[in-house]
Structures are given as C-alpha cells and as structure tokens.
Amino acid sequence: MTHDTIIRGGTVVDGTGAPARTADVAIDGGVITEVGRVSDRAARVIDADGLLVTPGFVDIHCHYDGQASWGERMIPSSWHGVTTVVVGNCGVGFAPVRPADHERLVELMEGVEDIPGAVLHEGLTWSWQSFPEFMDALDHRPYDVDLAVQVPHGALRLHVMGERGARREVATPDDIAAMARIARESIEAGALGFSTSRTLNHRTSKGELTPTLTAEADELVGIARAIGETGRGVLQGVSDFADVDAEFALFRRMAEESGRPLSFSLVQVRGDTWRRQLQLLAAANADGVPMTGQVAPRPVGLILGLECTLHPLLTNREYRELAALPLAERVRALADPACKARVLAADAAAREGAAGRSGRIIDAFDRMYELGDPPDYEPDPASSIAARAAREGREPLDLAYDLLLADAGRAFLYMPFLNYADGNLDAVGEMLAHPNTVLGLGDGGAHLGTICDASFPTTLLTLWVRDRDHGRLDLPLAVRRQTSATARTVGLLDRGVLAPGYRADVNLIDFDRLGAHRPEMRHDLPAGGKRLVQGATGYVATMVAGQITYEHGEARDPLPGRLVRGPQPAPATGGAR
C-alpha cells in the first residue's frame, strides 16, 4: 500500500513514557496508521535519521483568546513544537459578554494579562455575545495549531452580575443558578472546561481586583456541579494559596462534588507551600479525586527592557522626560554621559527621599540578571545585577543602565519572579518529577510586554533532559509530561501519543541543536501593538494533522489547525497507556 507520509528511521519517543526506539511512522489522512518498521511506499518520505520524533506538544495553559479571534498563527507557541493550545485560562476571556461590557472585559484582560487595550479594541470584532457564539466565531477559522476554549469565570460573573460582579459582591442563589446554567450550556456547546482566578496578582488595568478573587464556595461548587451534570468538561484555577489547606480543600470540593478533573497553577513563591500542595495532590488522587498541578520548567520570569512594560528607569524623573521618544532617539539621548549622570543623580535623590521605594520590583537588582543569547534560565545569584555592581564598586542602576542600552536598546534584563526563591530550580525539579503534575503556565498570548514563557516546552527538553548538571529527567518522561499527560488532563484523548489511530501531530527534533533564542520585541499586533516573542532552533519540522506547518522555524502554508469542540475519545485501535 502507499501511505501519505512515512517518517523514516527517527528515534521515536511516543509520548506514553515508553523508552525511545528507532522506528518509522506512517501517516494517512492526518492520522497515524503505523509505527514500527514500515516497508510500504509513500507519497512523501521524510528522512528522520538522527532526529527525535515526538508527538506535537499540547499546551493547556494559553491566553490566545484575542489572538485566535483575529489571527491564524499562535506564535510563539507554535515555534516551540506546540500543536494544540487550550485558551480561556485563569478566569479571563471575552465571552459571554453584553455589548455594554466590552470595555470592562478589555480592562480585565489588559490588567491581568498585559495585552494592551488598543490592541484588543482594534483586534476584537465582538461578533458574539454568548459563549457558544464566541465558539462559532472561532469555528472554521484556520489556525497553525488546534485550539480549544474554556469558559472564563471572570467574564461569566460580569455577564450575570454586572457591576455587582465587578465589585466582588457575594453571588445570590439566582446568580449562581444563572452562571451554572451558562457554564453548562457552554460545555455542551463544546467548551473544554471552566476556569477561575483567586490571585491578587490579577487586577484590571484600573487596578481593581479580579471579579472572581473572593467568589465563595457556593458559587464555585455550584458552577462545577452543573458542569458535572454534563459528564464532561474540566476545571482550572489559579490561586495565591494564602491558606494552603483551606484553598486546596475548596478546589478539591469543586472536583469532588462535580466529578470533573481540576488542575491548578503550582509554583514556588516562598517557603514550602508547594511541597504541601504536592502532598495534598497525592492524597486527593489516592482518594480517586482527579487533581493535577500545572508546573513550569523554569522561573515564571519578568523581562525588563526599554521597550517592555517594566524596566528599572521607568519611574526615574529624568528618564520620564525622554520616555515618549521613539526607541532609537531615546537610546541616543540616554547614551550621552551627561544624561546618564542626571538619571543616576535623580535616582539617588529618590532613594534618599522616598520611603515608598522599598520592595519595588524594578529596583530588585539582587534578583535581576542580564538576559543573554541563548538565555540562561537558571542564573547564578552571584551574577545578579546587584552582585556584579558590588564587585565593580558601582550602583546597580549604573550597571543596569549600560546593560539596557546594549544592542541599540533592545537588550533585556531577566527577573525570575516565581520558582526561584532558592536561587536555583531544585524545587521545580521536584515538582516536575511528581506523578500528579503536568507542564503548564506558559501563558502564551498573554503578558505581552512582561513575560515570554511560551517556550516552556523547549526548556523542559533542553534544561531538564540535556543541559542541567544534576537532577535531569528521563527524555520519555519529559515528553510525556507535555504530550499525552497534558492532553489527558483536559480530555483530549485523541492526541499526544505516536500510535496507530492518533492524530498525526508530530515534531521532528534535532535534539543536540535544540534551544530557545533570546526573546525579541515585535510590533505586529493590531494597532501596531508590541509583543515579546521567542524563536527556537532545532525544530526541524512540526506537523499538525499530517501536514507540515513549520520547518526550521519557517512557517509553511498549510493551516490545518481548527477549533476543537469538547473532549475527544481515544482511538479505538490505540494501545496507549
């Protein structure tokens, strides 16, 4: 017989956790038909000798809700081997919505996810009100990856409760019934899940707390229960876990009373809270309550630079005079030694005068690093801006100033924000190795001027399998963590495994050369909006449904990705574990 495609002689890491083996992969009609020694012929034969062949990565924590409504390419995720994205996380999104509330949702997304209001106003068509209408607006649009959506609690609460919802008033039984009904209908129409936020880090662009922050158990469990009645759908949450046990108990109740799986963001802030969360996760799963921690393979990191939302000169009196200039002119002005002297003097004066300066992120030079190319995501604390400046006998801002001006003002500083309390990633290693965690938190499509973490899949394979000098992970386990494991977490059982019957979403990887580049700022969003993006080397080819979408980082024409409606069953012929 003749196949559409045969990928020949690669090192197959099939996504189940099974050991790597040399095998051919045959593909027909967008589906894998054979894995092993395939002696048939094919319309297209791809030589994969010396390459890893893995399932495409399933990134369950993205925020491309806006980007998917106006664009086709979910970059930077799709530059990092990702072939399926799940959006609508953390309680934020753009449906359901009443026309009068457009501004409110834009302010929420602008504040929580650092997506500029101008970009959203220009990009969003608002051709929907209900969540099913939002899905219809995305349906039949071609994408470079498959895309699944979740109902965001923030939008749902504003839709049902209006101003009372925004002010975080307690939901009445009628409010809860209305939210539960809409959530259930949205799941029935094909939303993959429901998401909520309980973190003080999430505020609107006006500084107001996110509407769902203090939602009570009756509201959360009430919505979850209604979703449970459909027999499908997953739950996702983010929380500060200020009281670990109480907060975990609330999430557990949502999962337990609905019978639906729940995943939440699991990070190291300070202390051992994350270890307690791992214990509670293990206990829940031992009791048959399916709960999963979404973990990151590196710090959740802030990127600071002259074009970014944050940088150390941001509030400096002398700098503010120049802040509105285009980058090139600003850099020219800042390069003048007299200008630098004025900026440093203004900083010294501000430090003497103001008590309010303590604890500001943009002054935390002991946690700030120069971001090289390729980036070092586990920087030695001895190389922090503060440590280097101390060795050179100058003010940290003096050094940071010079670093920011490098590369014509396009250089970046990096601040590990979460997962770096110990000055290393040993805690992350424990989280990654835990049986009840999967890769998550990349936040692709969000934090456009502050964070560029959609490259997590590349970091998991490079830092944790290849580069670290201790605590490395097994390659099959690392691949499993971001393929079949993530796919299962959200109910997409038709992908994430290289076996007959599964979708032919495939990566061909030159593992020795694999690496993420230094992030860069691009001005290619609606209204000329900017975003941090990050390319990679080593993804020789990425296939979605059997078609090559990217080759060596270059986009190819096919856009085989589509909206995925609802959970997908495992193939009848699948032999995956």
User: Cβ closer to Zn ion: 199 or 458?
Assistant: 199
Question: To the nearest whole angstrom, how small is the minimum distance from the Cβ of residue 487 to Zn ion?
Answer: 19
- Is residue 100 within 8 Å of 572, Cβ to Cβ? no
Classified as helix, coil or strand, 549 is: strand
Of 9-17, 437-445, 486-494, 547-555, the window that binds Zn ion (rule: CB under 5 A) is 437-445
Cα gap 452→518, rounded to integer Å = 10
Give CA 3 to chain center in angstroms: 36
Nearest distance in Å: CB 421, Zn ion: 20
| Torsion of the alpha carbons at 413, 418, 419 and 422, rounded to the nearest 10 | 70
Of 24-32, 146-154, 229-237, 435-443, which segment contacts Zn ion by CB under 5 A? 435-443
Report the C-alpha gap between 306 and 314 in whole angstroms. Answer: 9
**Of 443 and 505, CB closest to Zn ion:** 443
Cβ neighbors of 282 (< 8 A, separation 6 or more) are 434, 435, 436
Closest to Zn ion by CB, 113 or 256: 113
Of 16, 69, 89, 462, the one binding Zn ion (CB under 5 A) is: 89
With respect to Zn ion, which residue has the nearer C-beta, 170 or 269? 269
Stretch that binds Zn ion, among 82-90, 184-192, 451-459, 552-560 (CB under 5 A): 82-90
Give the pair of three-digit tokens for residue 250.
């609330």
Residue 376 parent element (H or E): none
Q: Which residues pair with 47 in a beta bridge?
A: 8
Cβ at position 65, least distance to Zn ion in Å: 11
Give the shortest CB-114-to-Zn ion separation in angstroms: 11
Nearest to Zn ion of 90, 281 (CB atom): 90
Alpha helices by DSSP H, 189-336: 217-228, 244-258, 273-286, 317-320, 327-334
- Please report whether residue 483 would count as binding Zn ion according to CB under 5 A: no
Q: Are 524 and 72 in contact (CB under 8 A)?
A: no
Rg (C-alpha) for the chain, rounded Å, is 24
Q: What is the C-alpha to C-alpha distance for residues 225 and 194, in angstroms, rounded to an integer?
A: 11
89 vs 204, beta carbon nearer Zn ion: 89
Stretch that binds Zn ion, among 71-79, 190-198, 203-211, 442-450 (CB under 5 A): 442-450
x/- string (CB under 5 A) for Zn ion, residues 32-71?
Answer: ----------------------------------------
Task: Please state the closest distance from residue 213 (CB atom) to Zn ion, in A.
Answer: 15
Q: Which of residues 525-564 bind Zn ion (CB under 5 A)?
A: none
To Zn ion, the closest distance from the beta carbon of 209 in angstroms equals: 16
CB of 238 to Zn ion, least distance (A): 6
Q: Binding segment for Zn ion among 44-52, 89-97, 201-209, 295-303 (CB under 5 A)? A: 89-97
Binding track over 394-433 against Zn ion, x by CB under 5 A: ----------------------------------------
User: Which CB atom, from 293 or from 476, has the smaller least distance to Zn ion?
Assistant: 293
| Sheet with 150-152: strands ordered across | 150-152, 193-198, 234-239, 262-265, 291-295, 437-439
Residues 6+ apart with CB under 8 A from 380: 423
Measured from the CB of residue 147, what is the shortest distance to Zn ion in angstroms? 16
Alpha-carbon span 459 to 463, nearest angstrom: 5
Rounded-to-integer distance, Cα 473 and Cα 488, Å: 21
Within 114-133, the residues that bind Zn ion by CB under 5 A are none
106 vs 109, beta carbon nearer Zn ion: 109
Q: Tell me the HSE value of 156 on the side-chain side, using a 13 A CA sphere.
A: 33
Give min distance, CB of 442 to Zn ion, in A.
9
Rounded distance between C-alpha atoms, residue 178 and residue 181, angstroms? 5
Q: Please, which residue, 196 or 484, has the CB nearer to Zn ion?
A: 196
DSSP letter, residue 474: P
| 90 contributes a contact to Zn ion by CB under 5 A | yes
Q: Considering beta carbons, is residue 28 or 65 the nearer one to Zn ion?
A: 65
The smaller minimum CB distance to Zn ion, of residues 132 and 445, is found at: 445
Taking the least distance from each CB to Zn ion, the nearer of 144 and 443 is 443
How far is the CA of 499 from the CAs of 1, 56, 145, 481, in angstroms? 19, 13, 20, 17
Q: At what angle do helices 273-286 and 426-433 cross, to 10 degrees?
A: 0
* Binding to Zn ion in span 491-520, by CB under 5 A: none
**Residue span binding Zn ion (CB under 5 A) among the ranges 87-95, 376-384, 493-501, 505-513:** 87-95
Strand partners, 555: 550
d(CA 225, CA 248): 17
307 or 443: whose CB is closer to Zn ion?
Answer: 443
Please report how close the Cβ of residue 61 comes to Zn ion at its closest, in angstroms: 6
State the minimum distance, in angstroms, from the CB of residue 218 to Zn ion. Answer: 25
DSSP label at residue 377 = S
CA distance 220 to 107: 23
CB of 63 to Zn ion, least distance (A): 6
Rounded CA separation 112/538 (Å): 33
Per CB under 5 A, which region of 371-379, 403-411, 415-423, 443-451 contacts Zn ion? Answer: 443-451
The token pair at 174 is 């009628």
Smallest separation, CB 443 to Zn ion (Å)? 5
CB of 447 to Zn ion, least distance (A): 9
Size of residue set near Zn ion by CB under 5 A: 3
Q: Which residue is nearest to Zn ion (CB)?
A: 90
The neighbouring-strand residues paired with 11 are 22, 52
By CB under 5 A, is residue 448 in contact with Zn ion?
Answer: no
Task: Return the number of the residue (115 or 189) whose C-beta is nearest Zn ion.
Answer: 115
Q: Which of 351, 365, 368 is nearest to 316 (CA)?
A: 351
Q: Give the CA angle between residues 153, 104, 227 to the nearest 5°.
A: 15
Residues at the site binding Zn ion, with contacts judged by CB under 5 A: 89-90, 443
